[in-house]
């Protein structure tokens, strides 16, 4: 069973692994609309798109039905599930094992993580000590790989002995159980007996962003044709290779200082680069580059340099990375190694300055990719031009900025001799892929009808988007709005009349999703309006609010009047009639 603390941890882990636009896009055909996506509502029979998804805010909102929220609320709506069902569905999609978040009593999950971190740290120390004791391992690390002691110490490189349970016995003496060792990814259990996961290998600890050991990558030091050269810690509560950036804990300072992160293919490329003074280098820890890798780097810099091989595999990896970079908000470039250099490890040992020069000379990833296409295809033939333009336009179509798209289409026209009209026609054809079969939305569509108080959301969205419109709220009290979240937002706006708001402030964190929806509404509907139009719209919405309140007051007085008449309470009847007449007069005056 899940408890509240564990459920929240699982929820955030799943959310961090999924893009809301990808999940929604399985049910709704989304189209790009600036920074957002839009579509026809899956919940109403509308004819004009008013369903929006914001990748930046990780929310969706349907303005025709008033529904909205995060990825969980969307799945609950379209699949007809409760929160638990949506959590389990999205966990399967994200590859999150919910079993890792169950079993520990409330408040114990964090304690469990701390114990596993300590266990992994002790394992790193054990491997370091084993390296000191093993001459063969030292010869491999220091002579064959050419690593020096400072680099080995900085990365805490070690050695896993050949003994089948050396680490397990050492950890057992310190009070750790076999089950804990397995959960940390250090042993496997055979008939209940722990067997070391790594044996006869050079050990490189893998660290999280805070510099804590969360796993290991292990390099075979002997020639065994049947054995894999590298193996990694299996997926655990702490470690996931799709999220691990090798060397980042040591590269952070250099990345901030140079405003550039260099991504190489091999972990030992990182170690060698660090050893020779080029320290803003990281690797994807033995897996393909992921969006999460890029978003992690984007916390430090928006300039990312790839140093991949200039072959078909490196080309495909770069094409994929360009697509990921568009969603991650990073500027991607590619460093080309000089002739004769197999990889950064070899180049930096031979000439550190040449490695730095390759990084400094990196060219934009799209330029690098198109230049590589030129070497792959014969532009002297129609077939070569067809293949090159098809591959290049597929790449260019993924670029978010239309100006950037136009730049590369013109460059492609110059390269191939094709007209811009022909390239534009081909780009449209390529972009018009066969429609994907969408999943069925289990909530029946209804006629488009905004909720009764939707205009109050419009008013708040306008006031969040435009500080000048807040002047129209001066005679509106929070209690006049419907619902705690609307009242809380208005209260904050009245207390901060001039503050620019781009995300939910601390005081409104309890209503974070609602504030994000209002910001999305303001961005999609009002951003292009003039200040004058925004203000008059706010005045109109406030007038509607006041008018609705008068109608509500009139209905209340009508009910009270009937009750007073039934009771024969003449003084109360006269008082109520007087109030009703005053409200009716206000209506007449407003209509003049």
Range 253-431 has CATH code 3.30.9.90: no
Q: What is the pLDDT of residue 532?
A: 92
User: For residues 488 and 510, is the Cβ–Cβ distance under 8 A?
Assistant: yes
Q: What is the pLDDT of residue 316?
A: 87
Do β-strands 331-334 and 281-283 pair in parallel, antiparallel, or remain unpaired?
unpaired
DSSP-based three-state secondary structure for 446: strand
Assigned token pair, 228: 């894999």
Assigned token pair, 48: 């004009």
Beta strands in 55-212 (DSSP E): 59-62, 67-69, 158-160, 187-190, 193-196, 201-207
Measured CA to CA, the distance from residue 411 to residue 368 in angstroms comes to 13
Measured CA to CA, the distance from residue 167 to residue 187 in angstroms comes to 9
Q: How many CA atoms lie within 13 A of 414 on its CB side?
A: 8
- The contacts found for 525-530 with CB under 8 angstroms, 24 or more apart, are 525/458, 525/461, 526/461, 526/462, 526/465, 526/466, 527/465
Residue-wise pLDDT tens digits, 394-447: 889 888 788 999 999 999 999 999 999 999 888 887 766 555 678 888 777 666
Measured CA to CA, the distance from residue 75 to residue 64 in angstroms comes to 18
Beta strands in 312-417 (DSSP E): 331-334, 363-364
Residue 218's CB is within 10 A of a number of other CB atoms, namely 23
What is the fold of 4-101? DNA Primase; Chain A (3.90.580)
Beta strands in 18-133 (DSSP E): 31-33, 36-39, 51-54, 59-62, 67-69
**CATH superfamily, with its number, for domain 109-239:** DNA primase, catalytic core, N-terminal domain (3.90.980.10)
What 3 state SS string does 422-435 have? HHHHHHHHHHCCCC
Measured CA to CA, the distance from residue 121 to residue 86 in angstroms comes to 36
Assigned token pair, 295: 């978003």
Measured CA to CA, the distance from residue 520 to residue 503 in angstroms comes to 10
User: For residues 282 and 253, is the Cβ–Cβ distance under 8 A?
Assistant: no
Q: How many CA atoms lie within 13 A of 448 on its CB side?
A: 13
> DSSP of 484-539, one letter per residue?
HHHHHHHHHHHH-TT---SS--GGGGGGHHHHHHHHHHIIIIITTS-HHHHHHHHH
User: For residues 281 and 273, is the Cβ–Cβ distance under 8 A?
Assistant: yes
DSSP-based three-state secondary structure for 51: strand
pLDDT in tens, the chain (592 residues): 555 666 777 888 888 888 898 899 999 998 878 778 899 999 888 888 889 999 888 899 988 888 889 999 999 999 999 998 999 999 888 877 777 676 555 456 778 888 999 999 999 999 999 999 999 999 999 999 999 999 999 999 999 999 999 999 999 999 999 999 999 999 998 888 999 999 999 999 999 888 999 999 999 998 777 788 889 998 888 888 777 899 999 999 999 999 999 999 889 999 999 999 999 999 986 667 888 888 889 889 989 999 987 777 888 888 889 988 887 778 999 999 998 888 899 999 999 999 999 999 999 999 999 999 998 899 999 999 999 999 999 889 888 788 999 999 999 999 999 999 999 888 887 766 555 678 888 777 666 555 667 788 889 999 998 899 999 998 899 998 988 999 999 999 999 989 888 888 889 988 988 999 899 888 888 888 998 999 999 999 988 888 888 787 878 888 887 888 888 888 887 888 888 787 777 666 665 5
Q: What is the pLDDT of residue 149?
A: 96
User: Which residues are CB-neighbours of 512 under 8 A, at least 6 positions away?
Assistant: 504
Phi, psi of 189 (to 5 degrees): -105, 125
Percent of the chain at pLDDT exceeding 90: 46
User: For residues 284 and 246, is the Cβ–Cβ distance under 8 A?
Assistant: yes
């Amino acid at each position: 069973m899940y408890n509240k603390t564990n459920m929240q941890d699982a929820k955030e882990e799943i959310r961090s692994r999924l893009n809301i636009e990808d999940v929604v896009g399985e049910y709704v055909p989304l189209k790009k609309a600036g920074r957002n996506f839009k579509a026809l509502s899956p919940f109403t029979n509308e004819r004009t798109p008013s369903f929006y998804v914001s990748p930046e805010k990780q929310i969706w909102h349907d303005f025709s039905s008033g529904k909205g929220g995060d990825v969980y609320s969307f799945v609950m709506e379209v699949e007809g599930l409760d929160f638990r069902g949506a959590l389990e569905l999205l966990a399967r999609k994200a590859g999150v094992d919910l079993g890792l978040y169950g079993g520990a009593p409330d408040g114990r999950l964090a304690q469990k993580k701390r114990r596993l971190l300590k266990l992994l740290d002790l394992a790193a120390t054990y491997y370091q000590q084993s390296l000191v004791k093993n001459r063969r391992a030292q010869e491999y690390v220091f002579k064959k790989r050419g690593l020096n002691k400072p680099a080995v110490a900085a990365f805490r490189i070690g050695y896993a002995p050949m003994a089948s349970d050396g680490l397990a016995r050492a950890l057992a003496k310190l009070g750790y159980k076999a089950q804990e060792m397995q959960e940390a990814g250090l042993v496997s259990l055979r008939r209940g007996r722990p067997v070391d996961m790594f044996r006869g290998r050079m050990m490189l600890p893998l660290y999280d962003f805070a510099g804590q050991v969360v796993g290991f990558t292990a390099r075979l030091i002997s020639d065994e044709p049947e054995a894999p050269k590298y193996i990694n810690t299996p997926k655990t509560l702490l470690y996931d290779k799709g999220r691990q950036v090798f060397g980042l804990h040591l590269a952070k300072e250099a990345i901030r200082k140079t405003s550039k992160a260099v991504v190489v293919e091999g972990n030992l490329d990182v170690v060698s680069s660090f050893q020779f003074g080029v320290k803003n280098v990281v690797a994807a820890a033995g897996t393909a580059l992921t969006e999460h890798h890029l978003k992690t780097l984007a916390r430090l810099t928006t300039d990312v340099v790839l140093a991949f091989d200039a072959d078909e595999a490196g080309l495909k990896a770069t094409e994929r990375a360009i697509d990921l970079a568009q969603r991650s908000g990073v500027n991607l470039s590619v460093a080309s190694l000089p002739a004769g250099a197999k990889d950064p490890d070899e180049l930096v040992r031979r000439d550190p300055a040449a490695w730095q020069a390759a990084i400094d000379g990196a060219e934009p990833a799209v330029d690098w990719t198109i230049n590589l296409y030129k070497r792959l295809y014969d532009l002297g033939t129609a077939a070569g031009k067809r293949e090159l333009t098809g591959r290049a336009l597929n790449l260019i179509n993924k670029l978010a900025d239309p100006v950037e798209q136009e730049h590369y289409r013109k460059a492609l026209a110059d390269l191939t001799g094709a007209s811009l009209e022909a390239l534009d026609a081909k780009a449209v054809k390529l972009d018009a892929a066969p429609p994907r079969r969408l999943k069925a939305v289990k909530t029946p569509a209804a006629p488009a009808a905004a909720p009764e108080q939707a205009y109050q959301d419009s008013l708040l969205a306008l006031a969040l988007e435009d500080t000048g419109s807040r002047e129209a709220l001066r005679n509106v009290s929070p209690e006049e709005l419907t619902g705690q979240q609307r009242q809380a937002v208005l209260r904050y706006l009245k207390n901060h009349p001039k503050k620019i708001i781009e995300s939910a402030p601390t005081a409104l964190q309890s209503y974070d999703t609602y504030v994000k929806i209002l910001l999305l509404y303001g961005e999609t509907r009002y951003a292009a309006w003039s200040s004058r139009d925004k203000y008059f719209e706010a005045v109109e919405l406030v007038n509607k609010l006041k008018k609705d309140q008068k109608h509500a007051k009139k209905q209340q007085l009508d009910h009270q009047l009937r009750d007073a008449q039934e009771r024969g309470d003449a003084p109360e009847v006269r008082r109520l009639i007087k109030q009703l007449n005053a409200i009716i007069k206000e209506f007449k005056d407003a209509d003049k």
